[in-house]
Structure formats: C-alpha cells, structure tokens
Amino acid sequence: MRCAVLGDPVSHSLSPTLHRAGYAAVGLDWEYDAIRVAAEEFAPFVLGLGTEWRGLSLTMPHKRAALSLLGVEVTARARLASGVNTLVLEAGTPVLADNTDLPGAVAAVRERYDGPVTAGTVIGGGATAASTGLALCELGARTVRLLARSPERAAPTAAAIAAHPSAPRVEVLALRDGEVLGEVVVSTVPAEAQDDGLVARCADTPVVFEVLYDPWPTPLAASVGADRVLVGGLDLLVHQAVLQFELFTGAPGPLAAMRRAGERALEARRAAG
C-alpha cells in the first residue's frame, strides 16, 4: 500500500519520517513519500492514482482545494476548519476528507497542560490559525483573539472560528500592536515575524504553542522559561500524524515511535546546519 504527503513546497516535510517509523513499529510493509504537486495539478494527480494508494496527507496549497473534490465525504471538523489535511482512499479513489490538525492541536496542548482555557490568542490568520483557533474552542475558550498582519485578510479564518458550536467571541486585531489575551497563545507566523515587541506581549501567557518545528527554537519558543508551558510544532505534527496513521491503516498509531523518529530527524538537520 502507498501513502504520501502532497504540497508545494514539500521537501522539508517530516511526515515521511513519522509515518515510516509508524509502519516499522507495527510491522506494516507500506510506503510513504513526499511528492511535490503544484496547485493546478492537485485534482488531476489525486484522481489519477492507482489502486495501491490508501492515504494522502495534504499541506499548503492543497488544504482548501480538497474540500471541492467530487464524491468525497467531508467530515464535520474539516468543514468547520475550512481545510483538509487528510484524504483516505479506497482502491485509489478518495472517499473521505478529514482534518486531523484540529484534534491534533487539542491533544498536543493537553499532553503538556491540564489547566483551564477560557480564552486564547492566535498569531496569524491563515489555515493553521483557523484549525488551532478552533482547537482553543474545543479546549474551552469562549473568546479567541487573532493577531494578523493583514486583519482584513483574516476574515475567513475569523468566520471559521466563530462558526464553532460553542459560539465563541472572535476578535481580530493588528499583529503590530494587538494585546495577547487568555491562557494560551498560539503562533502560526514565521520566526522572522516574531520581533522583541511580540515576544514581550506574550511574556505573561502561561502556555505558548509554537506551531513551527524548524527552525527551532523560534524567538517566542526560546523565551519560555521553566515556569511556563511550551507546546512545540513537533508535538502538533506527531499528534495529527498519529490520527492520520490510524485513518490510513486502521491500526493504533505508535505515538512514541513516531515522536522519536521526528526528534532524531530534527537533530540531524540541526547538526547538518
């Protein structure tokens, strides 16, 4: 059986490392690759796969395009997040579109922090901001604040979060000067966007969720001391990958084995410079 992660770019992805480690841990002789697929090639590529294909992980720019594939059941959480990161195939035909980023983010936070979440802040306004903002709602947040470089472009993300069944209050402020709110702050922006002022505004937040895993640590992650909780991008990646693994194979995802593989791969990257 074959699986892969599709994206453009995609060579940086750790997904092959994680999924292959999972296959080895449970004794599956499956393949998992990273395949660069441009946005305009996405639908023809997916619809042209052979019967040996079982699953696809999707990264940018394909998460929203996958919502419109004909004949595919879209889960409620994928519709809620307005994005798909998982396609399950039967005999090479896509049959289920899901989003494991949302429950993966919930699991990543709860692994590190068991306290209350009444409000939270998400830095950024894209697809990852939508899924992590919804995860804050799943954790109990009644108010979610978005700090976006272009607040007007964050409107679809704000609408996606506001559509959560808990009917949260969603605020959109400018990244340059918006204040951080709540017990959890999630950063979905590049490391170079994390200036000293932003780091300082996050200094009193008990939980910092940095969705990046490379480069590491980001300025925001590096600022978190022993008195605060840091949830990293590898935590998110592993938890969402475990859920994908289970959807693709039907077997329980070997979390520890997949995490160890990811840690070793990142260590090797850093050693290589």
Nearest to 36 by CA among 64, 5, 17, 8: 8
Q: pLDDT over 90 for what percent of the chain?
A: 94
Find out whether 194 and 134 touch, Cβ atoms under 8 Å.
no
Please confirm, yes or no, whether 62 is among the known catalytic residues: no
Q: What is the mean pLDDT of residues 217-231?
A: 98
Instruction: For 76-123, write each residue's pLDDT tens digit.
Output: 999 998 889 999 999 999 999 999 999 999 999 999 999 999 999 999
Rg from Cα positions in the chain: 18
Q: How many helices (H) and strands (E) does the chain have?
A: 10, 12
Show the CA angle centred on residue 66, arms to residues 65 and 67, nearest 5°.
90
Strand ordering across the sheet containing 86-90? 31-36, 2-7, 53-58, 86-90, 93-98, 73-74
Task: Give the residue carrying structure tokens 């699953």.
Answer: 55
Do the Cβ atoms of 36 and 99 come closer than 8 Å?
A: no
Which tokens in the block code for residue 240? 């969402």
Q: Which of 19, 63, 77, 145 is catalytic?
A: 63
Predicted TM-score (pTM) of this structure: 0.94
Q: Give the pLDDT of residue 82.
A: 87
Tokens of 32: 């998992």
CATH topology of domain 2-99+237-272: Rossmann fold (3.40.50)
The domain made up of 102-231 is a member of CATH 3.40.50.720? yes
Q: Do domains 2-99+237-272 and 102-231 have the same CATH topology?
A: yes
- Give yes or no for residue 273 having a pLDDT over 80: no
Domain-wise residue ranges, the chain: 2-99+237-272, 102-231
Unique residue bearing structure tokens 């005999």 = 91
User: What's the pLDDT tens digit per position in 156-203?
Assistant: 999 999 999 999 999 999 999 999 999 999 999 999 999 999 999 999
Distances (CA, A) of 221 to 61, 187, 210, 262: 26, 10, 6, 18
